[in-house]
Structure 1
Amino acid sequence: MLRPTTIRPVLRSSPRCQQCLRRSLFSGKGSSRVSQDLDLNKLNSQRRDYERHRTVFLAAGATAGIISFVYTAWKLKKALAEQKDKQKEKMAVKCDAPPIPTETFKTEAGEKRKIVVHDEDGRVIVPTGNSVVPAFPRTIDVKLPSTKEENSIAASISDKHGSEYTLVGLGVRTVTFIGIQVYMVGFYVATQDIAKLQQYLIKKINPSATTLIPAEKDALRKALKDVVEGEETWDTLLRESDCRSVMRIIPVRDTDFHHLRDGFVRSIAARSQRNKAYNDESFGVAMKDFKALFNRGSVPKKQELLLCRDEKGVLSVMFNSSRGKDLKSEVLGTVEDERLSRLLWLNYLAGSKVASEPARESIIEGVMEFVERPVGTVATQVV
């Protein structure tokens, strides 16, 4: 009996079947492309988030830096003020004499004035409110150099004109927004020339008066404080009144001539650029000569620098390097051009920006004391 035979079919794939097989094997290729696209979008989103977070972080850091800078400056200013108060207390304890009073008193007319005291030598002094330079003398004697021979030894002003100068006002010069003190400055006018100052300012308000009443004094005070009118008033007074005057500068910290010179030159240049009358060769030569006077070394604190303006406007620069009572100033040189000293004086007296606002205010109040007296009486009654 014949057994049935099992026939196993031999599967041979055709080329078409092989293609189908390949499609089945790589059927996930389309989904892989979609996955890659999704990954790129995710990366772009992450990149945008990173940039946004980075910008926020940088902005926060900059803000924190500004806040910390302002806070540190405030703390520094506060610490300097506390240190100054401690120094005043130490000086008061060490000094045998009582401290110089800085308070004011009222006159019969109800006006406030500073208390005037005397030092141990009997000289009248005026308190400054500064611990390093506590007082300025009410009057000083200045010996100007000869204008004919600049290099000669300083010669005394003739007895006819006198050599005494009377303090009009004083104040401190500060720099930077935290108010670092640089020097004390006092404005002095030749005692014999105060009558010229009185007459000009009184006639400006009331041509027929010899002294000003309170209402007229208020009008003069307002005029001198005005930016435009105040500068015009002092500019004309300096050109026409022939008043001799001195700017007395005492540093409250160690400095140098170059630093002082740069401050002077900047103020003169800023004012001269606003007026074409100063744009000539002779004024440029005067500026060059003025700069040359300060080609020197250091200026220790408490040393005296005198900027002197004579009746013709000639500027003389004098420096006292001694610490004794007998002050012998060295003449550094002179500048003949009147315009330079006038611009330098205006830097302290008037304008939109002055070197020392406290000094300008004090000078105006000092002028008020002069104009309330009859013309010509201040020279014989200086208090």
Structure 2
Amino acid sequence: MFRLLSPSSRRLVSMQRAPFTTTIRRSLHGRTNAVRLPARPTKALLFGSALVFSAAMVFTLPTIHLDAEAVVQNEDTTVDSATSIAFPNTLRIQSKSPLPEFTLVGVGVRTVSFLSVKVYSVGFYADLSNPNLHIPKSASPEEKIEHIVKNTACVLRIVPTRSTSYSHLRDGFMRALQAQMVLLKKRGLLTQEEEFEVQSPLRKLKSMFPNTAMAKHTPLEVILLAPEPKQTRTLILRDLGALHSDWVSPQFVLAYFEGGGLSPPLKKSVFANLEHFGE
């Protein structure tokens, strides 16, 4: 027996079978360069479904709605060529305390071991409309990154390429921060007193990760809030918690751009896009 399809169902079947493409646009510097790439119609579903967590995991202010996903603007995305994971060029995260609109600055893949296993893709976002940003075009890429991280809100959007665990990501983050401490001590930029003071927020960060699995393509957004007078800097791990530290919060982000970078392709992408950015 055959069932007749309704007009709407026939349209849906037709859409599923018909080949089509999507346009990837870049507009960081006011330029629009269109590239025709194969569309991935299931990405929005993956991003949407992966961000629904238990309401019991609410963290400290500012509160990020657990029932609200980051808004992807239509098909305005950039694809990490190493993993085919797409990142929205404009990211809006809904919160009771308003967050700015974030602009994608660059994307790259994080690989580990001598086999170059692809662990996750990461996108670096920043509030480039912040009036406190006064970056000269003549500044080096390293100086521009440091100025952005220290003066405005930023986001690291981390998307695993395969099923992993929060504890695995946690261990990688902790190693990166420990390396930052050693490096800054050698440069004379971290005193023993400051090193002692950061131990508490480091323990806080470590405790925020649950001992549970993390599904493939589940985004983890790490939000560094803009600095405010007479307040310590806030770092939010979406749906996991928040910590307050003038050292740990910015260094979590800066670790991605130190030396070769935790993701050399991300560093290369960000530096290239910031080459002509500034006043």
Structure 1-normalised TM-score? 0.50
Query: What runs of 5+ residues in structure 2 fail to find an aligned partner?
Result: 1-15, 42-72, 228-232
- State yes or no: 1:246 paired with 2:158: no
Q: Percent of aligned pairs with the same residue?
A: 24
Amino acid at match of 2:93: V
Which whole-Å CA distance do the structure 2 matches of 1:338 and 1:116 have between them?
A: 43
- For 1:315-354, list aligned pairs within 5 A: 315-318=235-238, 330=239, 332-349=240-257, 351-354=258-261
Which whole-Å CA distance do the structure 2 matches of 1:356 and 1:262 have between them?
A: 16
Q: Check conservation: 1:249, 1:305, Cα contact below 8 A.
A: yes
Determine the structure 1 residue equivalent to 2:78.
126
Query: Residue deviations 1:182-205, cap 9 Å, x none?
Result: 001000112532x544x2243xx2
1:360 pairs with one of 267, 270, 276: 267
Which whole-Å CA distance do the structure 2 matches of 1:96 and 1:281 have between them?
A: 60
- State yes or no: 1:115 paired with 2:35: yes
Q: Check conservation: 2:126, 2:148, Cα contact below 8 A.
A: no
- For 1:1-383, list aligned pairs within 5 A: 96-99=18-21, 115=35, 122-131=74-83, 133=85, 135-144=86-95, 155-157=96-98, 163-193=100-130, 196-197=132-133, 199-202=134-137, 205=138, 220=139, 223-224=140-141, 230=142, 234-239=145-150, 241=151, 243-276=152-185, 277=190, 279=192, 280-312=195-227, 313-318=233-238, 330=239, 332-349=240-257, 351-368=258-275, 370-371=277-278
Q: Quick one: structure 1 residues 309 and 360, their matched pair in 2 at CA, closer, same or farther if it must change by over 3 Å?
A: same
Q: Quick one: structure 1 residues 348 and 100, their matched pair in 2 at CA, closer, same or farther if it must change by over 3 Å?
A: farther
Query: Residue deviations 1:238-297, cap 9 Å, x none?
Result: 33x2x1010000101000011101111111101112334264332000100010111331
Query: What runs of 5+ residues in structure 1 fail to find an aligned partner?
Result: 1-93, 105-110, 145-154, 206-219, 225-229, 319-329, 376-383
Report deviation, 1:100. Answer: 5.2
* Bigger-Rg structure (1/2): 1
Q: Check conservation: 1:102, 1:129, Cα contact below 8 A.
A: no
Q: Quick one: structure 1 residues 234 and 131, their matched pair in 2 at CA, closer, same or farther if it must change by over 3 Å?
A: closer
Which whole-Å CA distance do the structure 2 matches of 1:100 and 1:361 have between them?
A: 25
Secondary structure of 2:256's match? helix
Which whole-Å CA distance do the structure 2 matches of 1:309 and 1:170 have between them?
A: 17
Report deviation, 1:365. Answer: 1.7
CA RMSD after TM alignment: 3.2
Q: Check conservation: 2:109, 2:119, Cα contact below 8 A.
A: yes
Report deviation, 1:237. Answer: 4.5
More helix by share: 1
Which whole-Å CA distance do the structure 2 matches of 1:345 and 1:265 have between them?
A: 12
Q: Quick one: structure 1 residues 236 and 103, their matched pair in 2 at CA, closer, same or farther if it must change by over 3 Å?
A: closer
Q: Quick one: structure 1 residues 238 and 127, their matched pair in 2 at CA, closer, same or farther if it must change by over 3 Å?
A: closer
Secondary structure of 2:91's match? strand
Q: Quick one: structure 1 residues 282 and 181, their matched pair in 2 at CA, closer, same or farther if it must change by over 3 Å?
A: same
Which whole-Å CA distance do the structure 2 matches of 1:131 and 1:95 have between them?
A: 24
Which whole-Å CA distance do the structure 2 matches of 1:361 and 1:113 have between them?
A: 19
Query: Residue deviations 1:88-140, cap 9 Å, x none?
Result: xxxxxx87443557899xxxxxx99673889877341112224552x111111
Q: Check conservation: 1:272, 1:343, Cα contact below 8 A.
A: no
Equivalenced residue count is: 218
Which whole-Å CA distance do the structure 2 matches of 1:141 and 1:102 have between them?
A: 18
Secondary structure of 1:353's match? coil
Q: Quick one: structure 1 residues 353 and 270, their matched pair in 2 at CA, closer, same or farther if it must change by over 3 Å?
A: same
Which whole-Å CA distance do the structure 2 matches of 1:285 and 1:308 have between them?
A: 20
Structure 2-normalised TM-score? 0.68
Larger RCO, structure (CA 8 Å, separation 6 or more): 2
Secondary structure of 1:181's match? strand
Which whole-Å CA distance do the structure 1 matches of 2:205 and 2:177 have between them?
A: 11
Secondary structure of 2:126's match? strand
Secondary structure of 1:289's match? helix
Secondary structure of 1:288's match? helix
More strand by share: 2
Which whole-Å CA distance do the structure 2 matches of 1:361 and 1:259 have between them?
A: 25
